[in-house]
Structure 1
């Protein structure tokens, strides 16, 4: 990621190939080997101000459940990328992972569009505010917006594919067995997931129950069908059969 308005941070720690302990913008995380081809060392170019603003926004707007989940999504996404031989921009993957659920929070959620789109809009605005190119910000927007759309992200760029891969590993257990027990333990020791299944379903319910129409055609309809009394799915077949067309 390059921009004339971004300068090297004084708070980064290098990520070295083979390392199991590292940091981005001064935030220590465990359990990832840097999947890059940049001579084995990756240095975050996110400035201290941007990094601290990002972390402050998350701790102010996301509870522990969503914060630790978002960090695990980044870590699991990076690990799945290494396994798949992908070479993501780790900074973009990090932003996508940390912002992917902000649309579930009162601070950023709306009533008229999917929470994934709300989250994507915040991520894109964040990157543009630091002078990143439109195409770069749109790439992260796409990664966040599609993270609950099965069958599509893996056909697109590395960052898009791996935000979804991180979500799928942490929430659904997809490709869980493909990761080493040591890596899984390192990630969950750093970012625990107590009572996660119940709590994440409750967060999805709370974040979508006031905008049920936005769940048409996506996985959040399943959540509301289980946990929101009175919810009735919009039925695709009904829409076709009751459209104004004669045939």
Structure 2
């Protein structure tokens, strides 16, 4: 299995994610990184490993109670937090802005790997982990090791509850759009929960 990055920023991001995510959401964030790396290797996509890892770990912070904005979509709030994190970690402002952008774009229209590899990886990896999208892109042989090490722990139900809450309070959000377009059905049919 891919080793997790060990840079100072990567270690700090894991510390933040561990502190604020539930165990299920933390494991989802690590799996998002691992699924993305697996996908990138299979498709020959070059990407910034540290930037992708930090973005994957922090991408759902806007769903947590301490950081759930009453007015901003969770991915926007999470992106803002990632920018603050990046600057505090000593990154240049433009690198911190990339983490912010990756997190926001993971909930937007498809981004091509050519234009933005890290955003593309986070979109594909989270779509797979949350709703079982694009199963043909992920080798069945990789599932057992990743799922054994970073178990789901009821993630599907927890995440669906978060999305339904976001949709009810933020009707113009991407989460609301996903719920309106049968996200619940896709989440419940996710082969990773089978």
Is TM (by shorter chain) over 0.5? yes
TM-score with structure 1 setting the length: 0.67
Q: 1:70 corresponds to which residue? A: 29
User: In the superposition, relative to structure 1, how do residues 151 and 55 fare at CA in structure 2: closer, same or farther (>3 Å)?
Assistant: closer
Q: 1:240 corresponds to which residue? A: none
- Native 8 Å contact 1:153 1:161 kept in 2: yes
How many residue pairs align between the two structures?
Answer: 183
Aligned-pair Cα RMSD in Å: 2.3
- Native 8 Å contact 2:39 2:138 kept in 1: yes
Q: 1:187 corresponds to which residue? A: 146
Unaligned runs of 5+ in 1: 1-19, 26-45, 228-247
- Native 8 Å contact 1:124 1:137 kept in 2: yes
> 1:212 pairs with 170, 175, 180, which one?
170
**Structure with the bigger percentage of helix:** 2
Structure 1 CA distance for aligned equivalents of residues 104 and 54 of structure 2: 13
- Native 8 Å contact 2:71 2:170 kept in 1: no
> 1:159 pairs with 118, 121, 141, which one?
118
Runs of 4+ in 1 over 4 A off after TM superposition: 224-227
User: In the superposition, relative to structure 1, how do residues 77 and 56 fare at CA in structure 2: closer, same or farther (>3 Å)?
Assistant: same
- Native 8 Å contact 2:59 2:79 kept in 1: yes
The offset of 1:151, in angstroms, is 2.2
Q: 1:203 corresponds to which residue? A: 162
Structure 2 CA distance for aligned equivalents of residues 155 and 65 of structure 1: 31
> 2:20 pairs with 61, 65, 70, which one?
61
The offset of 1:162, in angstroms, is 0.7
**Larger of the two Rg values belongs to structure:** 1
